[in-house]
């Protein structure tokens, strides 16, 4: 399960040109799902306008759930929302035959306070730039190193293409209210 909630919706002007939630937000979760569990063969998406009616007027949803069926037989779920008032919430949970893996939100600091008023911890990072600063630097370094050394980058063109196909499949699934195989969008992935 991948949970990904932004702290605030993007401007409506962006929503209108973004390609929709599946191509501007969920696409990163599609990348993560493939990285963790391999190739996906089918998506089934549902969505609603629960946060900002203007997003609905722009032709998109602000809350979505996508079920993934992997070629291995594994199943996955992605939940997205354009607004989590408490901060940028991104978590991963993988359950397997012998246990589970849980990646929680990193906090800006580890200080916690407990007293007669209750228990308090740091708030979440507000947005992805704060949270993923080091990851972005590592990505750029890996790409530059690959170019300098004439090697294939860690992320290939196909790795970039497949999440786009998944986004289009999710959008079709939402509109047609049915599971969509990636091969329906791109027959080369069949």
> How far is 3 from 40, CA to CA, in rounded Å?
18
Q: Is residue 119 part of a domain?
A: no
Q: Is residue 152 part of a domain?
A: no
Domain that holds residue 92: 2-106+157-189
pTM above 0.85, yes or no: yes
The residue among 116 and 28 whose pLDDT is bigger is: 28
The DSSP symbol for 59 reads T
Q: Is residue 134 part of a domain?
A: no
Q: Is residue 30 part of a domain?
A: yes
Sequence-distant (≥ 6) Cβ neighbours of residue 73 within 8 angstroms: none
What spatial distance separates the first Cα and last Cα of the chain, rounded to whole Å? 24
The DSSP symbol for 152 reads P
Domain CATH code at residue 39 = 3.30.360.10
Query: Which strand (E) or helix (H) includes residue 27?
Result: helix 26-37
The residue among 87 and 169 whose pLDDT is bigger is: 169
The 10 Å CB-count burial string (b at 16+, else e) for 39-60 is ebbbbbbebebebbeebbebeb
SS3 88: coil
The residue assigned the tokens 């409506």 is 12
pLDDT confidence band for 121 (50 / 70 / 90): confident
Q: Is residue 69 part of a domain?
A: yes
Query: What's the structural domain count of the chain?
Result: 1
Q: Is residue 147 part of a domain?
A: no
Q: Is residue 131 part of a domain?
A: no
């Amino acid at each position: 399960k991948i949970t990904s909630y932004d702290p605030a919706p993007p401007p409506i002007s962006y929503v209108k040109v973004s390609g929709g939630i599946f191509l501007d937000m969920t696409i990163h979760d599609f990348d993560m799902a493939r990285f963790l569990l391999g190739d996906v063969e089918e998506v089934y998406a549902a969505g609603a306008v629960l946060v900002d009616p203007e997003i609905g007027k722009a032709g998109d949803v602000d809350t979505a759930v996508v079920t993934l069926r992997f070629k291995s037989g594994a199943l996955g779920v992605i939940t997205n929302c354009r607004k989590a008032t408490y901060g940028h919430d991104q978590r991963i949970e993988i359950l397997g035959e012998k246990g589970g893996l849980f990646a929680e939100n990193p906090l800006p600091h580890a200080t916690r306070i407990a007293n007669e008023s209750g228990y308090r911890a740091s708030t979440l990072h507000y947005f992805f730039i704060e949270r993923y600063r080091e990851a972005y630097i590592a990505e750029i370094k890996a790409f530059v190193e690959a170019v300098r050394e004439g090697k294939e980058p860690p992320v290939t063109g196909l790795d970039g293409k497949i999440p786009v196909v998944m986004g289009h499949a999710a959008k079709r699934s939402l509109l047609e209210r049915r599971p969509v195989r990636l091969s329906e969008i791109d027959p080369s992935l069949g």
